[in-house]
A = this chain, B = another copy of it.
Amino acid sequence: MEEQVDRVETQLRQALPIDWEVPGALSEAVQYSLMAGGKRLRPLLVLAAAEAVAADDADTSRGAMPIACAIEMIHTYSLIHDDLPAMDNDDFRRGKPTNHRVYGEAMAILAGDALLTHAFFSITQAAKHGGLPADRALAIVEDLSYYAGARGMVGGQAADILGEQGITDIGQLEYIHTHKTSDLIVFSLKAGGRVGGATSNQLEALERFGLLLGLAFQIQDDILDLTGDEQKIGKPLRSDEKLQKVTYPYLLGLDACKAKVVQLTDDAKAALLAGELANPDRLLQFADYLMRRDY
């Protein structure tokens, strides 16, 4: 997995505006957040899903990498904008000052806009230089604009902000997490599947796997915010409590949450296996790894 992360980071660096003719501060602000580390979970899911469908096809791998970079750009832009003073007002992210703390609010907004826009550029490069057929690339563009947009991640963030005072039940919380977290995970899996030429049955299995995995991931995040190691996680813990945020542990209790993560992970793996993929092993390992993570 570390080897894969290295490959992703190398490609991300090359996909960056480092030698573009763009204002220096904008370029720096973009790089600062995009190269700030992190688990690179979503890109790894793109690559693993492509491999699950098409096994060791070199063409598939070449076509999948620009998509892997695209989803990391989307994820990074969302963190930059979410951290802004008008949104969650966070000062630290992955152990470093947040983008606007370093480059100012205006440049942070623009760095986010630049990354969001460039993600779509990156998808087109999978067709231009990675051998991905135009119709598959276009289906991935459509998916990304859906899952990252108002009906997806942006809608989840809006609901989160609008509901900050008033969330009382698990349904509202699930709406927020489905869109804030699961949607990009679902996108990653489906996009990898599309690169590999997945059937509609396989795409459905990947989608169901992603929905359940995303929810397990978010609950695990809530648990780690209560019980994790601040050094490993790289930001102040118990932030949900301080902000009086309604979370899964708050609504269900810690023990029930831990059991739910295990259950969701099992359900996710079963859903994946229903897709009869050529090589699902790495995705299954992923599900277990995410369940056991401590950061």
Contacts and interface: CB of A to CB of B under 8 A. Distances in A.
Nearest to A137: B138
A252 interface: no
A25 interface: yes
Contacts of A141: 120, 123-124, 138, 141
A84 B109 contact: yes
Interface in A105-121: 105-107, 109-110, 112-114, 116-121
Contacts of A155: 20-23, 26, 114
Contact of A117 (B135, B137, B145): B145
Q: How many copies does the complex hold?
A: 2
A118 B145 contact: yes
A96 interface: no
Interface in A62-86: 77, 81, 84, 86
B86 A150 contact: no
A148 interface: yes
A198 interface: no
A290 interface: no
Contact of A106 (B86, B135, B137): B86
Nearest to A133: B134
Nearest to A135: B134
6 contacts: A20-B155, A22-B150, A113-B113, A118-B149, A124-B142, A134-B134
